[in-house]
Amino acid sequence: MHATEVFGEYAEAFRRAPLSEEVVHHAKRAVIDWYASLFPGVAAEPVRLLEATLAEDLDRGDARLALGRRAGPRTAALVNGTAAHAAEIDDSFRDAMYHPGAATVAAALAVGQSIGASGADFLRAVVLGYEVSTRIGVVMGRAHYRYWHSTGTVGTFGAAAAAGALYGLDAQAFSHAMATAATFAAGLQQAFRMDSMSKPLHAGRAAESGVLAAQLARNGVTGSLDVLDGESGLGRAMSDGPDWSQVGATLGRDFHITRLTFKNHIGCGHTFAAIDGALALQHAHRLPVQEIARVRVGTYRPALEIACYQQPASANEARFSLKYVVASALVHGSVRLAAYAPDRLADPATRALMERIEVYVDPELDAAFPGKRAARIDIETTAGARHTYLQPNRKGDPEEPLSDAELEEKFLELASPVLGSGAAGRLLERLRSIESSPDLHW
């Protein structure tokens, strides 16, 4: 049986399988976090320009954009998926090196709204999208992540699985949706090694492509069922020819959606262990910034390759600058939306501290990636003292999760400036009980 068929058989059985309270709870957490990521992205320039470009496709259809504008399901998935990734606040599944929420939830919401699905059906589709796509991401592995942006590639499968669940595809049609999704999967790492607007579009296109793949399969379009594991398939073309034989071994028993990472800072998640470690060391030894003579940050190689900007000149570059976010955290105490405001980007104290920060690949920490996202911090003071700290995980990782209260505080912090505090609070109430909602129009 090919990997696409494994997923097809599971998807059909999953329609009738009960979901535990734990899985439902974690699915709701994922949706709340998706909305927290969505609203700050609405005003991002690539999202604004995308909406302008798609003007002829808007103001009709049964799906909705973030602020209520009507659209068809593919267009809504494209715009909302882009917005949910634009501010770099969306969730991740660590072992797959992948942000599953942006595309998966965008696709599920768009299709669910367009067909009049219930909240319970929507949540079930979200779970399936996470479970299928994260397993593909794990199999594709670090070799895939070297050149490809997994949120754009693997995200296509999450979106297709979620959409396929809502369309009620049987095992065969679902397998063909997966096969067609594979031929749509794209998104290059090089797209964000320069200052560009392409990165969030990867998530949006994954959401749109997944919806389209499911729609095509619903109407009888077939794909090559060996497209993942065949001789010229995804595994060989975009990874190192990985073994697909166990891709479905734990489906239905080990729910990946219960082990997500939710961001506690804003920016590239590869920098978060360094931020956490630097703040922990600063607080433990009560180190004023002016007494910090030198900072050394050791971490895994992809963190340096992706968060690579030495002298960021824009907010987008700053989100991918390990030196900038660590310096900003030490100077200002946190890395939230304000860290990327123009005055913060030009802050003399932050820029001066950046000159005293050195980053390097720590072989031990690199060997543990992607299962562990750690950083080793050394701070030397102007008085000659040296302090060292190993940050083994990131706040928000499964080992140090955000509590429900912390996650809801994050939602209100990020949604309130866009919706207003009253509307944000009412939306949160709806999301807390989404499994009881008769529809998805809130």
Residue 416: φ, ψ to 5°: -60, -40
Residue 182: predicted pLDDT: 98
According to CATH, where is 1.10.4100.10 located in the chain? Answer: 3-264+402-436
- Segment 204-208 shows an average pLDDT of 98
pLDDT digits (tens, 9 = 90+) for 278-320: 999 999 999 999 999 999 999 999 999 999 999 999 999 999 9
According to CATH, where is 3.30.1330.120 located in the chain? Answer: 269-391
CA 300 to each of CA 44, 281, 303, 357, 359: distance values in angstroms, whole numbers, following the listed order: 30, 19, 6, 16, 10
CA distance 265 to 55: 33
pLDDT digits (tens, 9 = 90+) for 229-249: 999 999 999 999 999 999 999
Q: Is the pLDDT of residue 194 over 90?
A: no
Q: Which of 113, 128, 131, 193 is nearest to 164 (CA)?
A: 128
pLDDT digits (tens, 9 = 90+) for 247-262: 999 999 999 999 999 9
Q: Which of 395, 368, 396 is nearest to 300 (CA)?
A: 368
- What stretches of 67-135 adopt beta strand conformation (E)? 70-71
Residue 166: predicted pLDDT: 98
Q: Is the pLDDT of residue 412 over 90?
A: yes
348 falls in which pLDDT band (50, 70, 90)?
very high
Residue 193: predicted pLDDT: 87
CA distance 118 to 17: 17
**Domain 269-391 sits in CATH 1.10.10.10:** no
- Segment 387-404 shows an average pLDDT of 97
CB contact at 8 A, 60 and 70: yes
pLDDT digits (tens, 9 = 90+) for 47-73: 999 999 999 999 999 999 999 999 999
Q: Is the pLDDT of residue 441 over 90?
A: no
Q: Which of 114, 45, 48, 125 is nearest to 77 (CA)?
A: 114
- Segment 223-231 shows an average pLDDT of 98
Q: Is the pLDDT of residue 167 over 90?
A: yes
- Segment 188-212 shows an average pLDDT of 95
Residue type, 268: C
Tell me the two tokens of residue 139: 């199999």
Q: Is the pLDDT of residue 130 over 90?
A: yes
**Pairing of the two strands 357-361 and 292-299:** parallel
What torsion, rounded to 10 degrees, do the Cα atoms 353, 359, 365, 370 define? 90
pLDDT digits (tens, 9 = 90+) for 4-44: 999 999 999 999 999 999 999 999 999 999 999 999 999 99
Q: Is the pLDDT of residue 442 over 90?
A: no
Residue type, 244: W
CB contact at 8 A, 292 and 379: yes
As a whole number, the mean pLDDT across the chain is: 97
**CB-CB neighbours of 401 under 10 Å:** 18
pLDDT digits (tens, 9 = 90+) for 131-149: 999 999 999 999 999 999 9
Residue 407: predicted pLDDT: 98
CA distance 79 to 66: 9
Which residue matches tokens 């997966």?
178
Class in CATH terms, 3-264+402-436: mainly alpha
Residue 177: predicted pLDDT: 98
